[in-house]
Amino acid sequence: MKKAVINICLLVLAAANIFSQQSDFPKLTGPYLGQKPPGRSPVPKLNEKLSIFKPFIGLTWVGSIPNDPRMGEIILNWKAILNGFAVRLERNILNSGHWLETTYYWDESSEKIAYLALSNNGFVSKGYVAGRGEELVSEGDQHGPDVNRRVRRIYKLDKDGKLYEDDQFRNSDADEWRRTHVSVFVRSIRR
């Protein structure tokens, strides 16, 4: 009896397989097997006040610090979030395991673009962002383990499509900005 039930189940499964509709399955053709080729994601609607971020949104950038090869590859991902009312920048330095997430948003009370940056090593930065000619400049205060200082990060996109990130800081007792490093990035199709 057990054998008969098993044989009937196998026959039902075989029949179901034969009569199933294979035409609903997409054709896997071309270099991406029917999928959309990788590239720039469509830019979601972005709050007008955050329009200075449009050249960066939906892109992944891969770069390094040319004068410090031990740092290795750095990945930047820019995304519009919260229905376009904020922009998130994820920054990952692969060799060091350092992560930084920055959220940019329009601050109604100051009528400026504000940012909040949190890192996996305990640093928190808050400040404001503005366009300055061809540059995107963020400036604020950074607090973390044994650190309280002013920070500035300048992004500049050149005509060849390279993105430069110039990091600077100023301790509370200093009058001049000091450059930490300049990173150079190119667009990538990574996601």
Confidence of residue 188 (pLDDT cuts 50, 70, 90): confident
Each residue's pLDDT tens digit, 43-70: 568 899 999 998 888 888 888 887 777 7
Each residue's pLDDT tens digit, 142-172: 998 888 888 999 999 888 888 888 888 888 7
Query: Closest Cα partner for 88 from 75, 103, 98?
Result: 103
Cα-to-chain-centroid distance, residue 21: 41
Sequential DSSP letters for 60-97: EEEEE-TT-GGG--EEEEEEEEGGGTEEEEEEEETTTT
47-51, 131-135, 187-191: range with highest mean pLDDT: 47-51
The CA–CA distances, whole Å, from 180 to 159, 174, 177 equal 24, 15, 9
Look up the pTM and report it: 0.73
| Fold entry, domain 48-188 | Lipocalin (2.40.128)
Range with the lowest mean pLDDT among 9-23, 83-97, 120-134, 144-158?
9-23
